[in-house]
Chains A and B, each alone.
Chain A
């Protein structure tokens, strides 16, 4: 800038304060960021804008007492030296120094005293006073204060007075004759701009003829020109609800909430400043205010309640200005009419209305009768009836007007449907609106009676004092008849039974439902013995009675309501699960049979349960294994819903598998299993070297034996197996029973079996048939000896059933498990077959035949046994081989 304005500095105009010139080497200061622009007080403390915009302040330490350390009591000052120095504390002693500063709440600075202060009243205080006045118990009590102004005038006033000035006069030398204004004379200068024609000129406009010559007048009071700058965004000359405007504006209408704007509005409670007699923005007197007048009022003063009337009353005549300005009486009375004039261009074809619009006529409220009591009581509605005509009469007498005839009900007593009926609408089908509509006619009648009875009671209480005979007319309240035959009445009356056809209260029991429907039909036909004839004759007396009760209850309950209600209620979309629980679909079977299997060391199928199990997808991913069930979202064991209180969930079913298992063992064929008998002992007991050789030779012989003889043995039975599929069980059972005796007859010696089955059969038999002891063993042996083992299995089973009645009871329960097992079994067998190749095939066949046979004979239970048998067989066959295989493998792997 210096460079530019070298020669022509004076031409430049500079605004604001220039930046300080930087010294040499000084780096330009960084502007202080906004967040660092803090306000501090003179001591460098942060100033808290504590409600800064409403003039608040903060006190103490973060609005608490004391300091950062908390409140500290003043230290004790010994009164010995400075005796009672500060005995009395003023408020200043507890104030901060800020409060005492110029802008504090108690500024300690030189200020003008009231005497010299401007007469402008403290507006806030003034308004507070007004408000207090308005809300005071005696409104306008402060009026006196306004009227009786204290004799405290400002210095200017006093000076003026001493110079002979009087209030209401202008300042200046007295004039001989007041200058007259003549409207007709255009040459006469009018102060200010021209007033609207007919504009009020107030008291000075009066035509006073009386003008003595020798009288001088004081000059007019002058209102100073209002130089208030326009600092708002309103339109030019716009004034909101301005009290000045409202009071002295063109309309001269008082803002009255109560009366329709009466003339001569003035505000008794209004602030004194308003009542200065300014009629318009420009007063007719002159510009400027008199000495007594205060400065311009705040034209944007806020509304106060005091601007409004608080009482319903006509305004006092007169302006109530009480001598401050000219008397009101001289005011132009026609003002109000003149004012309402359209000023502006009138469109073609339009003309100004000659008459003002007639105001709305306001009708006075109706006159209340003298004996009116503003309390309402409800009168009971009594339908006219032969029975209760007295009551009606009494009521009507008491009420002083006749009750409505029920036939011609007043419209409030009609409900929607009835109105619709009257209007000729077709009633909406299937959507009754009231529960009452579902009732049959009979019920309705009964209800009505009931209602009347109760109404009557109420009416009686009322009418007793008036009419004594009311009680005699009271009908018998018919209590709802819930007797045994009430259903009959209910059903036979009206449309009820027809609806019941689609309602099935006994849907769970089709038989019962059928009977129930039959019963309904009978009832509909009006048969008296409807119940008796449709009940199941095979039922016991107790059952019949119960069913009878149920039916009648159901008929009562559902007939009247169900079909109609069904139009309003829908069935639940989701089945109610409360009676069902999720349980794993497959459950581990009861352990009792497994226990026995374990005791017999019959590990394998007997002790194994296989379930479908869904691993989590993420788990599969983490294990680097393909998801076995890629399409299922299930995790864990599949679950099914079962009845919550089903026995299957809670009963552990002790299975009777032990006894079949016993027989299963009996199917071991002694011939080619001969070498087997020494297998176990040799495995466990003999010395190492021997054992090894033994086992190998054992295996060899075993293998050999399996290839050979069993084929021939089993061949006749294979046929049987093939044709076995569905043969009558009973036959087989009989056979079994027969063969029992046979088997016992042809029993070989005990020793033989002991020798053969020493290790296993003892244990097996011990599990369930301990009581039979050795003899049982013998039996088994017998069975093994001949091929009717399976039949004997039946026999044993029956015997065991006889011993243990429980088994029979639980047999059906077991079947479920069995099925599962069978499934697994077949699968397993299949797999195993593959594994074990042909070696065992024939042997297995044989076993199977026997299985089938036993299956036939003893239904499901023997299935298990046959399973176990074949399993065991397999195990017996397998394990040595497996072991051998492993034996072989082990050294190989080592090398």
Chain B
């Protein structure tokens, strides 16, 4: 069997600054795309959550109801609801259209670092610095979580959900993957506090960033190291990382005001995109297009590939 010539077309990276939005909600703690990438959410430290159309640069709605800064947010698959978690230890389920709080889940003992819907938006998983992940039921009215995953020894910094798995990175230096289908917990030791984890889009790998300024690509099934990406600076902040829309590149924030792009396979630095002078706090990658959102200070930036031409209509 002959190996086919690998000819990856040079993937386009979002290098062109398309827009800068001043969110007007003090520091932007996180920026997140919605499920189809047409809208984005910004979590502000002024207790608000804002919904934007990033390509047009319009503010669609402001969701206020948190008691403290909002640290993470996520949209449901059908764009009907949002969830967010913040420093008020609460996880809030929002109705997108009305902007009302649908549910407020209380139970975490510390601020909620990360929230995520499951695939069908029936469960909200929230990771908190109280070292638990709580699975909140959106369907029933019960106030306590369905299950509390308290295996972590330190705060949870990142939670990602696939159709049957929960991937959680903890400050105790472990990435835990709860496989509901197999009924097993895989705990991979990385050593340094984990700041962000994510699945690759093919679901085979996990990308793990940790406070030793290193991103690691691990094989999901075996936990083996597939790649290691360094060059950026991440020693203090909980910075986001992600994979590009086709898993070709690894993208990570950096504390030196840049966004780093590495080639996934080779691990070589492909691009260090200068965003600004301060820390790039958060980023989000468009699910299907080379479009990147970064958050720095109180504003977010929208980046597109060089060849991108602004269309009328949706971005």
Residue ranges of A at the interface with B (Cβ–Cβ < 8 Å): 584, 588, 591, 594-595, 597-598, 601-605, 607-616, 618-620, 622-629, 635-637, 683-684, 688, 691-692, 696, 699-700, 828, 831-832, 871, 874-875, 878-879, 882-884, 886-891, 893-894
Question: B17 interface residue, CB < 8 Å from A?
Answer: no
Let me know if A618 and B184 touch, CB within 8 A: no
Known: A622-B137, A882-B226, A886-B202. A629 touches B185 (CB 8 A): no
| Residue in A603, A613, A622, A886 whose CB lies within 8 Å of B146 | A622
Asked if B151 is at the interface (CB within 8 A of a chain A CB), the reply is: yes
Chain A residues, Cβ within 8 Å of B88 = none
Q: For A688, give its contact among B146, B181, B263 (CB under 8 Å).
A: B263
- Interface residues of B, CB < 8 Å — how many? 61
Cα separation A653 to B97 with both chains bound (whole Å): 55
Among B179-194, those with CB < 8 Å from A are: 179-191
Q: Say yes or no for B309: interface residue by CB 8 A criterion.
A: no
Query: Which stretch of B50-58, B101-109, B264-272 is in the interface?
Result: B264-272
Q: Once bound together, how far apart are the Cα atoms of A637 and B163, in whole Å?
A: 21
- A-side contacts of B268, CB under 8 Å: 684, 688, 691
- Determine which residue in A588, A610, A622, A887 has the highest number of CB atoms from chain B within 10 A of its CB, and name it: A622
Distance of B258 from chain A, by nearest CB (Å)? 20
Is the beta-carbon distance between A886 and B204 smaller than 8 angstroms?
yes
**A615-B147, A628-B182 are contacts. A891–B9 as well, Cβ < 8 Å?**
yes
Q: Does B209 belong to the interface (CB within 8 Å)?
A: no
- Chain B residues lying within 8 Å of A882, measured Cβ to Cβ, are 219, 226
Q: Which residues of A contact B164 (CB under 8 A)?
A: 623, 625
- Structural contact, A618 and B137, CB atoms closer than 8 A: yes
Among the stretches B22-30, B41-49, B115-123, B294-302, the one at the interface with A is B115-123
CB contact between A832 and one of B173, B178, B222, B266 (< 8 Å): that residue: B222
Complex: how many Å from CA A227 to CA B267?
122
Distance of B30 from chain A, by nearest CB (Å): 24
B180 and A603 form a contact (CB under 8 A): no
With A611-B185, A629-B183, A879-B219 already in contact, 16 other A-B pairs whose C-beta atoms are closer than 8 Å = A602-B225, A603-B188, A604-B219, A609-B186, A614-B183, A623-B118, A628-B183, A683-B266, A692-B6, A696-B6, A883-B227, A884-B6, A886-B205, A887-B6, A891-B9, A893-B246
Min distance, Cβ A368 to any Cβ of chain B, angstroms: 77
Q: Judge whether A879 and B224 touch: CB under 8 Å.
A: yes
Q: Is B149 an interface residue (CB 8 A)?
A: yes
C-alpha spacing A584/B153, complex, angstroms = 13
Whether B247 sits at the interface, judged by CB under 8 Å, is: yes
Contacts A623-B119, A888-B4, A891-B7; A594 near B225 (Cβ below 8 A): no
Are A622 and B123 touching (Cβ within 8 A)?
A: yes
> Is the CB of B8 closer than 8 A to any CB of chain A?
yes
A612–B183 CB distance below 8 A: yes
When the two chains form their complex, are residues A612 and B184 in contact, meaning their CB atoms are under 8 A apart? yes
Q: Who on chain A is nearest to B147 by CB?
A: A616
The answer to whether A890 and B247 have CB atoms under 8 Å apart is yes
Contacts of B224 in A (CB 8 A): 603-604, 871, 874-875, 878-879
Partner of A624, one of B120, B147, B204, B247: B120
B223 touches A622 (CB 8 A): no
Q: Which residues, 127 to 149 on B, are CB-close (under 8 Å) to A? A: 135, 137, 139, 146-149
For residue A615, which residues in chain B have a CB less than 8 angstroms away from its CB? 147, 178, 180, 183
- B135 A616 Cβ-Cβ under 8 A: yes
Q: Is the interface of B mostly helix, strand, loop or mixed?
A: loop
Given A594-B191, A894-B9, is A603 in contact with B216 using a C-beta cutoff of 8 Å? yes
Cα separation A449 to B211 with both chains bound (whole Å): 81
Q: In the complex the two chains form, what is the Cα distance from A604 to B178 in whole Å?
A: 17
CB atoms of B8 and A887 under 8 A apart: yes
User: Which residue of the partner chain A has the closest CB to B247?
Assistant: A890
Q: How far is the CB of B88 from chain A (nearest CB, A)?
A: 25
Query: B228 contacts the other chain (Cβ, under 8 Å)?
Result: yes
Specify which of B173, B186, B202, B266 is in contact with A608 (CB 8 Å cutoff): B186
**Residue among A601, A613, A626, A889 with max Cβ neighbours from chain B (10 Å):** A613
Q: Determine whether the beta carbon of A688 is less than 8 Å from that of B6.
A: no
Task: Give A290 Cβ to nearest chain B Cβ, in Å.
Answer: 87
**Residues in chain A near residue B225, CB distance under 8 A:** 601-604, 875, 879
Closest residue to A584 on the B side, CB-wise? B151
Q: Does A619 contact B183, Cβ atoms closer than 8 Å?
A: no
Contact A608 B189 (CB under 8 A): yes
Quick check: A626 and B8 within 8 Å, CB to CB? no
A614 and B184 alpha carbons, distance in the complex (Å): 7
Q: Are A607 and B180 interface neighbours, CB within 8 A?
A: no
Which of B178, B202, B221, B225 has the most A CB atoms < 10 Å from its CB? B225
> Which residues of the partner chain A approach B137 to less than 8 Å between Cβ atoms?
618, 622
Q: How far is the CA of A635 from the CA of B185 in the complex (A)?
A: 12
Most buried by A among B9, B119, B266: B266
Nearest residue in A to B190 (C-beta to C-beta)? A598
Q: Considering only CB atoms, which chain A residue lies closest to B173 in the complex? A: A591
Chain B residue at minimal CB-CB distance from A624: B120
Q: A696-B6, A878-B224, A883-B226 are in contact. Are A616 and B185 (CB under 8 A)?
A: no
Let me know if A619 and B265 touch, CB within 8 A.
no
Report the Cα distance A882→B221, complex, angstroms. 12
What are 6 A-B pairs at a CB distance below 8 A?
A: A607-B189, A615-B178, A618-B147, A625-B181, A628-B182, A891-B7
C-alpha gap A886/B243 in the complex (Å): 14
Determine the chain A residues whose CB is within 8 A of the CB of B184 once the complex forms. 610-613, 628
Minimum Cβ distance to chain A for residue B150 (Å): 8
Chain A residues with CB under 8 Å of B204's CB are: 886
Closest to B142 in A: A618
Bound form: Cα–Cα A830–B50 in Å: 50
Q: For B246, list chain A residues within 8 Å (CB).
A: 890, 893-894
Q: Which residue of A lies closest to B192 (CB)?
A: A598
Q: Across the interface, which residues of B come within 8 angstroms of A601, CB to CB?
A: 225, 228
Q: Give the distance in Å from the alpha carbon of A622 to the alpha carbon of B137 in the complex.
A: 8
Q: How far is the CB of A680 from chain B (nearest CB, A)?
A: 10
Given contacts A603-B223, A622-B122, A683-B266, contact A608 B147 (CB under 8 A): no
Q: Which residues of A contact B179 (CB under 8 A)?
A: 613
**In the complex, chain A residues whose CB is within 8 Å of the CB of B8:** 887, 890-891, 894
Bound-state Cα–Cα, A404 to B148, Å: 76
- Contact, CB under 8 Å: A598 / B185: no
Identity of the chain B residue whose Cβ is nearest the Cβ of A895 in the assembled complex: B9
**Cβ contact within 8 Å between A613 and B118:** no
Nearest-neighbour CB distance to chain B for A338, whole angstroms, equals 88
Residues from chain A with Cβ under 8 Å of B221 in the complex: 831
Q: Are B218 and A635 in contact (CB under 8 A)?
A: no
Minimum CB–CB distance for B210 against chain A, Å? 10
Chain A positions within 8 Å of B122 at CB level: 622-623
Q: Which residues of A contact B148 (CB under 8 A)?
A: 636
Chain B neighbourhood of A683, CB < 8 A: 266-267
| A618 surroundings in chain B (CB, below 8 A) | 137, 146-147
Q: Indicate which residue in A611, A831, A884 contacts B3 across the interface (CB closer than 8 Å).
A: A884
For residue B64, which residues in chain A have a CB less than 8 angstroms away from its CB? none
Q: How far is the CA of A882 from the CA of B189 in the complex (A)?
A: 21
Residue pair A591, B189 in contact (C-beta under 8 Å): yes
A607:B265 contact, CB within 8 angstroms: no
Which chain B residues border A614 with CB–CB below 8 Å? 183
* Top-9 shortest CB links A-B: A628-B183, A603-B225, A613-B185, A608-B223, A616-B147, A604-B224, A594-B189, A607-B189, A622-B122
